[in-house]
Copies of this chain bind each other. A is one copy, B any other.
Amino acid sequence: MIKVFTDEYFMEKALQEAEEAFAAGEIPVGAVVVAHNQIIARAHNQTELLNDVTAHAEMLALTAAANHLGSKYLRQCTLYVTLEPCVMCAGALQWAQLGRLVYGAADEKRGYLRQGNGLLHPKTRVEYGVREAQCQGLLKAFFKARR
């Protein structure tokens, strides 16, 4: 049983978003933004649907969360995302001064960490590896089916 208000719980919600992306033929990455134990935004990758390289799950979730809060800054928020953010998304999270980032699978090829540790805001706390196998597995299944 998944307990509510744990990182695993919220990552499951991000995984549900990733599954929606998968079903829509999008690279399966999902994200939710949580403030005070409440999900205030959820999104999945829509680069194909919107024909827009900027339509990553994180970017859409971040914009939706700012709309919800009426604030550009997400200092009190946690972003759960199934895959390590790319450089673009890390740059956006830096501008948003995100409070906490939790991601599932690492992305050695396109993840922000290939640039070292300096892209996020210095106050953003980071955890990773939450539901890693499921997050990674969904991506693997997607690319296997496309080959």
Contacts and interface: CB of A to CB of B under 8 A. Distances in A.
Interface of A: 47, 51-54, 59, 62-63, 66-67, 70-73, 86-92, 94-96, 115, 118-119
A54 B47 contact: no
- Determine how many copies of this chain the complex contains: 2
A95 B85 CA distance: 13
Contact of A88 (B51, B52, B94, B118): B94
A62 B53 contact: yes
A119 B87 contact: yes
A121 B67 CA distance: 31
Given A51-B71, A115-B118, 4 more contacts: A51-B67, A54-B95, A87-B91, A115-B115
A89 B91 contact: yes
B53 A95 contact: yes
Contacts of A54: 54, 59, 62-63, 92, 95
A108 to B, nearest CB: 15
A63 B88 CA distance: 14
A66 B53 contact: yes
B92 A53 contact: yes
Contacts of A73: 53
